[in-house]
Structures are given as structure tokens and as C-alpha cells.
Structure 1
Amino acid sequence: MAERPGEFELIERYFRPLASDPGAFGLTDDVAVYVPPPGEDLVLKADQIVAGVHFFAGDPPSAIASKGLRVNLSDLASKGATPVGYLLSMALPDDWNEDWLRDFSAGLAADQALFGVSLFGGDTTRAAGGLTVSIAAFGRVPAGSVIRRAGAAPGDVVFVSGTIGDSALGLRIRLGTLDSMPAGKAADHLLDRYLLPQPRLALAPVLLRFATSSLDVSDGLVGDFAHICRASGVGGEIDADAVPLSAGARALVDSDKSALASVLAGGDDYEILSTVPEADAERFAAEAAEAGVPVTRIGRVVEGKAPPVVLGVNGQPLSLDAASHVHF
């Protein structure tokens, strides 16, 4: 067996080509430098993904790389930020090889070109257990304009982008925990949504113009709306029938009683949940559609500080065992 390259060889071979911004110094220094343009703030975000928790150890290396980067870019999008770059830290298991790392770095290179970001630095080490990928991403927004969780007000309309529940159902397909297992294009779509999030960066400038609060749906639709309500000191309602579903998710919800709970609380959708004043709701939806990101009105913000309520048939509250997925 050929001897595996050391840390500095790995950096030179696989990561230095990703450090295209001058502030990264070609990964030849201990730090990097980025100065935001005048009148803009820096927005920072860090997320890690872990084998056996956020992805399967046997998933394609390029997809693992993409997921690690995209979950961070999704958070930046929800804050109205334009992404700039990221730091990458990896703990590699004992069985890694160069083919794996080559495919991993190729996944990062493809997403860098797609989303317009650059690697600025990071670290590599050996893992005591499974693979861990930690990324700290950063972006920029006009000064003072970052969209926080706090800011929702009674009377605001609740919107969500794309479709909800696909990732959680894709995971359940892989785990084999559904009563009826979809096949063909429907299954492929759900599996792909689990493996490859789609950060809604095109929605960011629209959010800046209209949103009073926003976050990405990573812990689950109901749980993440609860984060907004708690931070804003308000209550809220979600109409379960209004939650947008893909064709595959709709078929599963209709055939498996447990699927609806996965849709509402499963997590890992990486869609954008936002609140918008009623007076701006139509313009927000129209401009989001023009940006290529469909949004759906799913509820409203109300007075009070209680957790949000999910309304089902005839407006009756639904009872969920859990409001969100627990990653810890």
C-alpha cells in the first residue's frame, strides 16, 4: 500500500487550489484576512456535520463536502447575506485514502464555482471516531440590515420556501422506517434532498427588503418557528394543510400516518422560514417567484408568548410528539 501523504502535502495537493481569494494567502500563513466593503457588515456562521448523525459514512465524498458547505450557506441566505468564503476543519477517520479526499475536494470546488465562495483556511487532524467536517462560513450584508430571529410581530404572515419534509422522509427511506416505501423519481427526489441541501441564496435580497424575521429550517419546521416566536416574544399558528409538499412527500403523507410528523418536525430541509408584514405579503411572494424561489404562506404571527400551534382539519390543533429533530 502506498504511503499516505501528510497534512502539509494534503493542503498543498487538495486544499490550496480552493483558496482563490488573495486574503487566503494561498494557505501559506496561519491566518487569513477579509475586509468587507465600506458600509457592509460581516455575518458569521459555523456548523459541523458528523458521520452517523448528519450523513452516512458511506455517502459519496463529494456529497458530504457539499452538504457541509451548503448547510452553512443556507444560514447565511436566511440572514440576507451574500456568501464570501469559509474555513474548513476536518477530523479524518483512520481508513481515509487519497481517492476519498480527491473526491471530497472536487465536491468543494464544484460548489465554490456554483455559489461564488472561496476557502480561506482551516485545519485537518485525525479522528478518534468517525469523520467530522466543521465549516465556518462568512458573508456580507448592508450595515445594520442582518435579519434576525427576533423581529416578528403580531399580524405578520409566515412564509416558507420550497417544499418541506423531503429530507426527513429521504432519511426514513434510507433507514427503512416507512410503512410504504416510494420508488422511482419520487424516491430519488427525497433521497437527493437529504443528501444535497439547496441553499436559497437567490432569496436573500428579497428577504432583506421584506422579512421581519428569518431562519433556515434545520431543526424542523415547527421547532424552528418556535425559535422565531421565542426570540420575538410572540405566538404563532401554522396551517398544516398549507405546508408545501413535493409529490413524493404528499404520497407518503397520504399513505403513512407517521409521515406528517416527519414533515412538520423532521428537520434538515434547509428551506427559509420567514415572517413578513401582511401589507407586503403579496409583493414578497411575487419577488421571490421572480428570483426563482417559490414561497408559500403557511401561517401567521399572533399575540402572546406561547409555543406556536399547528392547525389541522377544521382548524383543530394537532398534537406532535416532538416539535423538532434533536441532533445532540
Structure 2
Amino acid sequence: MDEGSRSEFDLIGRFFADLGAPRADVLLGVGDDCALLEVPACLSLAVSIDTLVAGIHFFHGCDAEALGHKSLAVGLSDLAAMGAAPAWATLALTLPERDDDWLAAFARGFGDLARTYGVRLVGGDTTRGPLSVTVQVHGLVRSGAAVQRDGARPGDLVWVSGTLGDAGLALRLIREGGPVDPALRARLERPDPRVALGSALRGIATAMIDLSDGLAGDLGHILAASGVGAEIDLTALPLSPAVVSRIASEGDWSLPLSSGDDYELCFCAPPEHAALIASMAAGLGCALSAVGCISAEPGLILTGPDGAPTSLSSAGYDHFSNNA
């Protein structure tokens, strides 16, 4: 074993062994060639993976604890969108150099969120190179009960959780070099995955997606998978006072419609479930707003405050588009 290998294994043992919540279904975790995990009968395994790259998904020099939190939160949001209960995670961490203070803060942010949602880190990899973080999450859901994107039907209401555009506004303010309210910045750097809501919507929602790239683009994925269209009332969108003020000053609806990193849930459900869904908000501690309706005619119609259709220049972030 060379000095580099000893350093890597020391890093793993010091910062990432036993990270997260203890779980009886982890037969073997960090420290061997593979993890051994026990999947109960009658449950399906939901798996998602995301990579965050310095300079693309987060600023160079960003708070390491916040990055640890966010790197796990984005995957937990994917599990929430399927109605899956989080269980395990793996982590691939590429570092330009070893920095124990940075690693301790990153592991703290990751571990705190993992314990909150009952997640155990069960494996991964560390290597040297430009800073990037890849997290794969694994969740469990009763077989046949996962909420997919392809179930929306004409007449369903379109709902969203929380407020939209806060993370996008925080990003704009940071880039502009102005002051950023800490609560607004937290929406960008420490998103709260809607895990409890996703689970509660099993058997109620006909289709669901998490809002990582903006409402217009992500709802568009539901519409394409379901073969339907939708009409969204912009005046019904749930917006924070800061986003309302920005829209009023610029007349630009792109913040709630096409800026990313909200990590709220967008879902469709028959109108007869409206009262039940509205009653969930108080119990789950998160606002739920009906913002539109599914239609049979394909396409997305955005209705402005004057009742007239409005257009949107960008449907959402795309890494490989010409303007990304």
C-alpha cells in the first residue's frame, strides 16, 4: 500500500465511516469492496444519482457544510418525488487537495441531513481532481405504489409545494454582488427535501416531479410523459415577498418558472382530492398551492395577471443547451 492509499483510507475512516443514521438493513457498510443491504420483500428499490460540480452547481469557496447538506438533499428530493422512503446513500468525492477542516464541515452537513431522514452512508469513492460531489441515493417504496410522471389526466389539478423562485433569486443576487437575506440564501444552499409530503401523496397524486430546473421545464416532463397539456395561472403561483418585488420591478416571470434549485414538489391530482390535499399543509408544515389544471391538448399555457397567455423565453436549465 502506498502513502496515497493510506491517506485515502484514513480520510474515509475519519470522516465518512458510520456517517448517517444507524439502520438494521445495512449488513455491511463503508469499508469493504461492496455494501451489503437487505431489501424487504414486497418493496421496490428507488435509485437516483446527482453530480454537483464546482463552478456549475455551486460557487468555488462555498460553505462546505452547506454543500454537504445540499449534495444529499437533491437526491432525497428525487426520492420524495417518487413517494419513496430514504434508506441509503453512496458518495463519490473528488477533491483538489485534502483539507481536513473542509472535510469535517462537509461531513457534518451531509451527516446531519442523513440522520434527519434515516439515511446511512454505505460506500463511495474519493479521488483527486477538480472539486465535484456525486451522491447516489436509495429509497424503498411498496411495490406498485411509486408515483411516476406518466399518470396525469385531463381535469387533474396541478399543485406545487412551498414557494417558487427563491433559490433563483438568491443566485441572481449573489452574482450581482449585492446583499442576500440569509433565509433566501438558505433556500439555495440548504434546500429542504419534501420527503414527508411525497410519502403522503402516494395513492393521491397521479403524477409527480421535483422542481430542480424550474416549474415550466419540470412540469413539461410530466406533460410529455403523460401525453397531456396544462394551463398555469401565474397569479396562483406561491411566491415570497422578495420574488414578488423582483417580478413587479422587472416584469419577468422567469424566477418562479425557469430558475432552478427550488426542490419543491409539483404534482397532479383529481379535483375531488383538493380538500384532502389542502388539509395536508398544516400537518406537514409546508404550503400547498393549486396553480393550474391538466388539459387534453398537449402544450403548456401560461396565463398572466391580465388573463392573457404569456410566453417564456427559457423553459429551464439545460447543461447542454447553447445558452447553458
1:116 to 115, 118, 131: 118
TM-score normalized by the length of structure 1: 0.91
Cα pair 1:238 1:299 within 8 Å, conserved? yes
TM-superposed deviation, 1:305: 2.3
Q: Residue in 2 aligned with 1:9?
A: 10
Q: Please tell me the residue identity of whatever aligns with 2:313.
A: D
Rounded Cα–Cα distance in structure 2 between residues aligned with 1:199 and 1:149: 18
Rounded Cα–Cα distance in structure 2 between residues aligned with 1:279 and 1:310: 24
Q: Please tell me the residue identity of whatever aligns with 1:325.
A: Y
1:263 to 256, 265, 269: 256
Q: Residue in 1 aligned with 2:108?
A: 106
1:311 to 269, 291, 303: 303
Q: Equivalent residue of 1:72, what SS?
A: helix
TM-superposed deviation, 1:182: 6.6
More helix per residue: 1
Cα pair 2:71 2:110 within 8 Å, conserved? no
Q: Please tell me the residue identity of whatever aligns with 2:280.
A: E
Rounded Cα–Cα distance in structure 2 between residues aligned with 1:289 and 1:160: 15
Q: Residue in 1 aligned with 2:141?
A: 141
Q: Residue in 1 aligned with 2:90?
A: 87
TM-score normalized by the length of structure 2: 0.92
Q: Please tell me the residue identity of whatever aligns with 1:116.
A: G
Q: Please tell me the residue identity of whatever aligns with 1:267.
A: G
TM-superposed deviation, 1:291: 2.1
Cα pair 1:218 1:269 within 8 Å, conserved? yes
Which shows bigger deviation, 28-37 or 316-325? 28-37
Q: Residue in 2 aligned with 1:322?
A: 314
Deviations 1:152-199 (A, max 9, x none): 00000000000000000010010018xxx676xxx2222111111110
Q: Equivalent residue of 1:16, what SS?
A: coil
Cα pair 1:83 1:140 within 8 Å, conserved? yes
Rounded Cα–Cα distance in structure 2 between residues aligned with 1:24 and 1:138: 15
1:27 to 2:30 alignment = yes
Q: Residue in 2 aligned with 1:156?
A: 156
Rounded Cα–Cα distance in structure 2 between residues aligned with 1:222 and 1:68: 24
1:53 to 2:56 alignment = yes
TM-superposed deviation, 1:228: 0.3
Q: Please tell me the residue identity of whatever aligns with 1:103.
A: A
TM-superposed deviation, 1:220: 0.6
Q: Please tell me the residue identity of whatever aligns with 2:317.
A: H
Taking the TM superposition and a 5 Å limit, the aligned residue runs for 1:180-191 are 187-191=181-185
Rounded Cα–Cα distance in structure 2 between residues aligned with 1:67 and 1:87: 14
Structure 1 runs, 4 residues or longer, greater than 3 Å off: 19-22
Rounded Cα–Cα distance in structure 1 between residues aligned with 2:203 and 2:285: 16
Deviations 1:231-268 (A, max 9, x none): 0000011111110011221222222333x212211111
Q: Please tell me the residue identity of whatever aligns with 1:271.
A: E
Q: Equivalent residue of 1:209, what SS?
A: coil
Q: Residue in 2 aligned with 1:245?
A: 239
Q: Residue in 1 aligned with 2:285?
A: 292
- Shift of the 172–291 alpha-carbon distance from structure 1 to 2, 3 Å rule, reads same
Q: Equivalent residue of 1:158, what SS?
A: strand
Q: Residue in 1 aligned with 2:199?
A: 205
TM-superposed deviation, 1:40: 1.3
Rounded Cα–Cα distance in structure 2 between residues aligned with 1:189 and 1:31: 40
* Number of residue pairs aligned between Structure 1 and Structure 2: 315
